[in-house]
Amino acid sequence: MVVAVTAAGCAGGASGGPGGSGGPGSAGVGDPYFPEAGNGGYDVSHYALDLAYDPAAHHLTGTATITARATEDLTALNLDLEGLDVERVTVDGTAARWRRAGQELTVRPPKVLEGGRTFRVTVRYSGAPVTVTDPDGSEEGWLRTADGAVALGQPTGSMAWFPGNHHPSDKATYTVTATVPKGLRAVSNGEPAGERTTGDRTAFTWRTTEPMASYLAVLAVGRYEARRTTAPGGLPVHTFVDPRQAAASRAVLARIPDVVEWAEGWFGPYPFSSAGAIVERPEDAGYALETQNRPLFPGAPDTVLLVHELAHQWYGDSVTPRTWRDMWLNEGFAVYAEWLWREDHGGGTAQETFDAMYAGTYFPDAATNEAIWSFPPARPPDAEHISGVPVYQRGAMVLHRIRQTVGDDAFRALLRGWAKDHRHGTADTGDFTSYVEKAAPDEDFGGIWSDWLYGEGKPARPFEP
């Protein structure tokens, strides 16, 4: 593939490098499925995004100020940015040279950034934000809607609307200010931190004070019915619903406090400062997504889907996968939350669900039932399959095998302990298997790991509990 390169120079021209020792940070963190995603040499602590979007013109302008710490001496660093035109880059307020190559924005600071030093990169950019097509054919990035847009990021789409270190291994806090035409609303993660109308434009500010992976960032622009309620303990619940979905969504969204309270009984204290949801029209997005604080739904969800996405607030959002190979730690847990919800609400036990999946009778079509055994959940064959059926369903079956082994009380303690010990952090599959073995040192999990988590094909029938 031939990649067009655009170079722009300032502070002394486009050639040469800053003086001093050090080297460039890597362009990519070497993720097994998205090797170009993320960047090496620094850790981001905060994104401050000042955005303005005109839906009629489909034009976005932005200034991103990224606060980060160098983890090595850096003569250059990369940011992920897809599309959009870069106009100016500064490092700690001084103009810096930069160049573009595909999704990579390479920044050359005026002098070496020494390892351990905190610095700020500010990027001013604009243009028509793009939609990103995933290897599995789904769409993310910037999705235009009838009255605005919705920006989604799993796995790499956030680079379509702001530059950053777009890999789940680097989490940060956020301040997002989005200015939109008067009459529209801009919704993002975290807590509302101000709303100001000037002329025919309104600016909405949101603050996310708990660490967040960039793929969980959301920006929704449009007309919404906004509502604020509280969950037990005073937890704020913010919902934003497209008016055409308001009637269909009202009853299920009213259950958010009940679902959160139920989930805390299984998973421990809710990990964020607010809960809620964003409901778009069905044609606006092809899937629901566990965007932090308030999941996004394409149309009114049913209760089980609501449970799934709220469970992700613990598993996926607070405890985030270190690489995209570890997606089963998100989806297997969220699917098992569905099983637990049904079990606790008269819908059949988790054991009955497990048995139906093993027997090949759970789904109405044979192909989906067979797909459960198409690859091991901890080893998707490629990027196209990181959201495949085994990651979800067989991932949940792994958890049920653990529950069969340790018993209900120990399993509940394990779920809560895993969420507590890795709260607001990242973890991989090895971390989880080690955690389980330490939590139940007298049990043998070797067969579960070899047959159910990593093994090819359908394992032999497990013991009956």
Tokens 């460039």, located at residue = 24
Buried b (16+ CB within 10 A) or exposed e, 121-135: bbbbbeeebebbebe
Residue 377 identity (one-letter amino acid): P
Pairing label, strands 42-54, 172-181: parallel
| pLDDT of the residue at 224 | 98
CA distance 370 to 358: 10
Q: Which two three-digit tokens encode residue 364? A: 């109405």
| pLDDT of the residue at 232 | 87
Beta-carbon contacts of 77 under 8 Å, excluding residues fewer than 6 positions away, are: 24, 25, 39, 41, 42, 70, 106, 107, 109, 113, 121
| pLDDT of the residue at 465 | 53
Is 415 strand, coil or helix?
Answer: helix
Q: How far is residue 275 CA from its own chain's centroid?
A: 15
CA distance 349 to 344: 8
| pLDDT of the residue at 12 | 31
CA distance 39 to 29: 5
The verdict on pTM exceeding 0.75 is: yes
In angstroms, what is the C-alpha Rg of the chain?
Answer: 23
| pLDDT of the residue at 439 | 97
| pLDDT of the residue at 413 | 98
**DSSP line for 36-47:** TSS-SSEEEEEE
| pLDDT of the residue at 148 | 98
Tens of pLDDT along the chain (465 residues) come to: 322 323 334 433 333 344 457 899 999 999 999 999 999 999 999 999 999 999 999 999 999 999 999 999 999 999 999 999 999 999 999 999 999 999 999 999 999 999 999 999 999 999 999 999 999 999 999 999 999 999 999 999 999 999 999 999 999 999 999 999 999 999 999 999 999 999 999 999 999 999 999 999 999 999 999 999 999 899 999 999 999 999 999 999 999 999 999 999 999 999 999 999 999 999 999 999 999 999 999 999 999 999 999 999 999 999 999 999 999 999 999 999 999 999 999 999 999 999 999 999 999 999 999 999 999 999 999 999 999 999 999 999 999 999 999 999 999 999 999 999 999 999 999 999 999 999 999 999 999 999 999 999 999 987 655
| pLDDT of the residue at 21 | 76
User: Among residues of the chain, what percentage have pLDDT more than 90?
Assistant: 94
